[in-house]
Amino acid sequence: MIFNKRGLKLDSPEHSFYINNVRLEVVNEYKYLGFILKPSGSISLGMDSLFDKASRAWFSISNLIYRDKRMSYKRASQLFNSLISPIVLYASEYWFPFSLAKKSLSTKDKLLQSWDQFRGEVLQQKFCRLFLSVMKKTS
């Protein structure tokens, strides 16, 4: 993969690289340590794939939490924090600073509003609503 501003796949002979006389393939996306990178440097595809994986994992344990009405909050939150949080926050040291818009850092209200839309927080809110048995739109 060759990083460029436009995110184009540069597959011309002038952008060819060789190792031991073997031409390296130029690709549109590359998964590095489980995080998908694009030539433009965009991180949205990587963040989307992490959220999808975490959502699937959440769906599988949500039935367990829903069925066991006597499960303590400590145990349920331990399940969430050990099984779901590591997935959705994987490589967050890299992508999180780029996921917030600069304008969301201007005031406290804008920061809290952007935090409510953060995908990790969305899953955490789903967990809390399920455990408390309240409706989806409850704040």
Phi–psi pair at 124, nearest 5 degrees: -65, -40
Predicted confidence at residue 54, as pLDDT, reads: 92
Predicted confidence at residue 52, as pLDDT, reads: 92
Choose among 15, 51, 58, 19: nearest CA to 36. Answer: 51
101-116 confidence digits (pLDDT tens): 777 778 888 888 777 7
Whether the pLDDT of residue 4 is over 70: the answer is no
Choose among 135, 120, 122, 113: nearest CA to 85. Answer: 120
Predicted confidence at residue 8, as pLDDT, reads: 65
Predicted confidence at residue 2, as pLDDT, reads: 66
30-85 confidence digits (pLDDT tens): 888 888 888 777 788 888 899 999 999 998 888 888 787 788 889 888 988 999 99
Predicted confidence at residue 45, as pLDDT, reads: 85
Higher pLDDT, 33 or 100: 33
Whether the pLDDT of residue 5 is over 80: the answer is no
Predicted confidence at residue 1, as pLDDT, reads: 58
Q: CA–CA separation, 10 vs 64, rounded Å?
A: 48
Predicted confidence at residue 3, as pLDDT, reads: 67
